Amino acid sequence: MKPAVYESIAECIGNTPVVELHDSLIPKGKRLLLKLEYYNPTFSIKDRTALGLVQALMSVGRLAKGGTLIESTSGNLGKSLALLGAVYGFRVIVVVDAKTPASVIRWCEAYGAEIEMVHETDENGGYQKTRVARVQRLLEKYPDAVWPNQYDNEDNPKFHYQTTGEEVAALQMDAVVGSVSTGGHLCGLGRKIREKRPGTTIVACDVEGSAVFGGAFHAYLVNGAGLSWRSRNTDLQVLDKICISTDQEAISACRLLARDNSLLVGGSAGLVICGALASLMQSDTKSAVAIIPDTGANYLDQIYDNAWLVTKGIELLTRAQLDECLTTKLILEAPALRSGNGIWLVDNEELLPVSE
């Protein structure tokens, strides 16, 4: 077979591999498939999101060579937009915060992007709102610039519906499990799964401390997942179940995956692995596909650094402890959230009302 030759690195986005996880935490006779989004050019699912946003802006003439794009991001989308700025010749200004790993910032700069760092937290103790406020100030300064606004722009889920969703729908599964921040990738691909594979359970995973599914916001360590509010691209109609895990559970799952299964994944993938394993353990779901958003290479100085974990007060769970957590983990029904009058549990003790 003739090897494919691509015109640019942008054409190498998507068509990521799927690897079956063989781990004793998976109940006997069940299967867990991992869709490895770190096989995208900047090693995260955000390359797809960025391509969808940029293509949509370019197709209507709002962005072209020489133009300026500004976006708020915790890191991964910034790298992806910076890459596309280099491919298509537009200027990229990335608004990041103090939680963004230094290596991610260097990465954006290597592609020629400019960095705007936000240090102040918002009233919730997070950075997302202050980042968006900075974007708005920059738009006043550069009136011709475009802001893709990954949170509310429907081109984000639309692109995942058209592309990622097709790839996932080609797999045999009872459940699709993914993480949520803007909600773009899971809700977009989930909509395709609803059409092509009705009956598949869509499980959304989030981190304790995020407010996406109505809990009170507090700071957390896992990068990429969660938000201090629920963005418009998180469409509750597409979701069946919600699974919230702690930093400790997610990071422990990541470390176990690297050590015992040779897979180096980011913290949000740890949340997804926890959600997928809990679903397989607790329901008649026989097979699940987990969307792995990014690589652990982004976090070698954080969740893969034992000294850093000590400073953050995280003690890694043993395999047996993680097993116990996941066997008893609460998996919430999304329809209760949709109705707006349901209740959900953050953990076994704490009962919080849903804030729609």
Q: How far is the CB of 268 from ligand PLP (least distance, A)?
A: 3
β-strand partners of 233: none
Q: What is the sign, positive or negative, of the torsion defined by CA atoms of 255, 257, 258, 259?
A: positive
Tell me: does residue 191 bind ligand PLP (CB under 6 A): no
DSSP string, 132-145: HHHHHHHHHHSTT-
Complete edge-to-edge strand list for the sheet that includes strand 18-21: 18-21, 31-36, 287-292, 175-179, 201-207, 241-245, 331-333
Q: What are phi and psi of 96, to 5 degrees?
A: -120, 180
Interface region with ligand PLP, contact rule CB under 6 A, candidates 19-27, 69-77, 313-321, 330-338 = 69-77
Rule CB under 6 A: is residue 128 a binding residue for ligand PLP?
A: no
Query: Shortest Cβ distance from residue 78 to ligand PLP (Å)?
Result: 9
- Nearest residue to 281 (alpha-carbon basis) of 20, 36, 23, 18: 23
- Interstrand relation of 331-333 and 201-207 (parallel, antiparallel or unpaired): unpaired
**Footprint (CB under 6 A) of ligand PLP, residues 148-187:** 179-186
Number of residues that bind ligand PLP (CB under 6 A): 21
Q: Does 224 bind ligand PLP (CB under 6 A)?
A: yes
Asked if 209 interacts with ligand PLP (CB under 6 A), we say no
| Least gap, CB of 302 to ligand PLP (angstroms) | 12
Residue 268 interacts with ligand PLP (CB under 6 A)? yes
252 part of the interface to ligand PLP, by CB under 6 A:
no
Shorter beta-carbon distance to ligand PLP: residue 40 or 248: 40
Q: Tokens in use for 83? A: 């890459």
Shortest Å distance, C-beta 182 to ligand PLP: 3
Least distance in angstroms from the C-beta of 20 to ligand PLP: 21
266 binds ligand PLP (CB under 6 A): yes
The conformation of residue 278, written as its DSSP 8-state character, comes to H
Q: Reduce the DSSP state of residue 204 to 3 states and report it.
A: strand
Site for ligand PLP in 18-57 (CB under 6 A): 44, 46, 49
